[in-house]
Amino acid sequence: MNIVVVGCGRVGAELAYRLFQKGHQVAVIDQVASAFDNLPPDFRGRTVEGEVLAEDVLRRAGIEQAEGLAAVTNSDSLNGVVAHVARTVYHVPQVVVRNYHPNWRPLLEAFGLQVVSSTSWGAQRLEELLYHADARSVFSAGNGEVEIYELVVPEAWRGRSVQDLLPSGQCLAVALTRAGRAMLPSQEACLEAGDVLHLSATLAGIEALRHRLKAPQER
């Protein structure tokens, strides 16, 4: 893919290098020449210095041929404008925006942009890690609004059903692994101690599940 990364701070440099390592054609834009020092010495993509909203700068970066653009500066307003221009003027198929301040996130989403909010996602992950490790997150969708959790069924829940365990409307069973063999579990599936259950849940849903794990007789 031909990909343009706007912003060469720590996030932009890391993203550009990862894409380069995977064989993509990468161009990085930043208005400060010294920002390119964040790139590893073996990076062989293009670097374009200049105002990121200037038409000639975008063209030199190859935006007209770009298949993807990531706007990852530390300015939410700049990221939003660059992304909007990339999508509506240059018709870049894949556009992703970094959200720096949580207050800007609703506005960016209102433009229909794909948004990664490192602050919101990071805070939620830290909150999760402070809780008990009875159900750990293995995949995060969006900015952490829904996550996939892995849970080892405790002895106290032997013989109970998936439906008994999961709060209705807040958690969905994704897979049940028993003795190394995975299956798609029904709501009526009987649990065994040591089963590995993967489930999708919101933060509220996983909190309700943790409460049930502590009190298995509650239904």
| pTM, two decimal places | 0.65
> For the segment 81-111, what is each residue's pLDDT rounded down to a tens digit?
999 999 999 999 999 999 988 888 888 888 8
Specify burial of residue 171 (Cβ count, 10 A radius: 0-12, 13-18, 19+): buried
Report which residue type is found at 10: R
> For the segment 170-219, what is each residue's pLDDT rounded down to a tens digit?
899 999 999 889 999 999 999 999 899 999 998 888 888 888 887 755 44
Nearest Cα residue to 175 out of 139, 128, 134 = 139
Would you list the domain boundaries of the chain?
Answer: 2-121, 132-214
CATH topology classification for 132-214:
Alpha-Beta Plaits (3.30.70)
Tokens for 202? 């919101």
d(CA 128, CA 151) in angstroms, rounded, equals 14
Tokens for 112? 């229909």
d(CA 61, CA 47) in angstroms, rounded, equals 8
Return the biggest CA–CA distance within the chain.
67
CATH dotted code for 2-121 = 3.40.50.720
